[in-house]
Structure 1
Amino acid sequence: MKNLESKFDEIYKTNYPKVIRLCLGYVNGDSMLAKELAQDVFIKVWENLHTFRKESSLSTWIYRITVNTCLSSFKKGKMGYMTNELINLENKIDLEEEQENNELQISQLYCCINKLNKDNKSIILLELEGLPQKEIAEVMGFTHEVIRVRIHRIKNELTKCVTK
């Protein structure tokens, strides 16, 4: 049991920063909600660590759990309240201030990311996390070519959205 606990501690320390950043992307920077989601992710990792089949890297498996946890939270309505807040926030953002203030630029980007469909949102958040496209393909269950094309299209869509 101690060996499993120390293994989990190492997994947690190594992967928590990646998981929390990905969760923050799903909840538009709401740190409390992101921490709650990250906690759910690591509970699932702990409960299912014995089932990890090593068909992919451990971090890929944890990313998949994170994506699924965030998406299922949307379905359960945990993050439903964010939609109206995001729409109101987007309407209030002044484009000139946005260029002067990096925080507003990041907020605008998250608003645009939140407009994407669930697959595209997952793909771009993993891309922003710095995952190689082949690993993103593995996490998402698509071919590398599909991911490569989608990332290009998503970036174009986000560029148009942010520069409106």
Structure 2
Amino acid sequence: MDKELEHSFVTNLEQNQNIVHKVCRIYTNDRDSHNDLFQEITIQLWKAYPKFRGDAKFSTWMYRVSLNTAITLYRKSKRSIKTTDFDAVDFRIKVDEYDDEEEQQLKLMYATVKQLNDIEKALVFLYLEDKSYKEIAETLGISEVNARVKMNRVKTKLKKILNP
């Protein structure tokens, strides 16, 4: 494997790993599942990295791969996420500790978002990441108008969940 490619990937991943943690938080319910999904997304990012052309920012590409991996695995299993053996990858990535207790104030939001369907979760996630509708549309592979319409519907749905 090309050491330059590997170094570039590890550096980019370490700098942007909070994206993956946030995706994991939306699509999992416990630390073990979070860690498993983080590992699987990392493997999928590594497999796809040689095809990364740089047409979009690395973080936008990372959002897309992360969300697609999470949604695909979630739909396949609905309950538990099966993962690929991490030992197959020979590099190690320094993983920042992700402490759930530091984020108590977000529990209600995450619990509410978990009630949404897969695409709605992705929309909310990207919206909360301050992505423009153009970036949201690009990441999800939909039109900008469709992203706006879907987001307005999701906002209405979230209000109904929070205020029945």
Superposition TM-score tier, normalisation by shorter sequence: 0.7 to 0.9
Q: CA deviation at 1:2?
A: 2.3
Superimposed CA distance per residue, residues 67-119 of structure 1 (whole angstroms, 9 cap, x where no aligned partner): 11111221221x516xxxxxxxxxxxxxxxxxxxx83x633332332222221
Question: Does the 8 Å CA contact 1:108/1:162 hold for their aligned counterparts?
Answer: no
Question: Does the 8 Å CA contact 1:109/1:162 hold for their aligned counterparts?
Answer: no
Q: CA deviation at 1:162?
A: 1.4
Give the partner amino acid of 2:38: A
Query: Structure 1 stretches of 5 or more lacking a match?
Result: 82-101
TM value normalised by structure 2 = 0.75
Two-structure CA RMSD over aligned residues (Å): 2.2
User: Once the two structures are aligned, what percentage of the paired residues are identical?
Assistant: 31
Q: Which residue does the alignment assign to 2:52?
A: 52
1:71 aligns with 2:71: yes
Q: Which residue does the alignment assign to 2:136?
A: 136
- Cα 1:126–1:50 change in 2 (3 A) is same
Q: How many residues align?
A: 142
Aligned counterparts of 2:11 and 2:134: Cα–Cα separation in 1: 25
TM value normalised by structure 1 = 0.75
- The alignment partner of 2:67 has SS state of helix
Aligned counterparts of 1:74 and 1:62: Cα–Cα separation in 2: 18
Higher helix share: 1
Aligned counterparts of 2:38 and 2:131: Cα–Cα separation in 1: 18
Q: Which residue does the alignment assign to 1:88?
A: none
Q: Which residue does the alignment assign to 1:94?
A: none
Query: Structure 2 stretches of 5 or more lacking a match?
Result: 81-102
Give the partner amino acid of 2:16: N
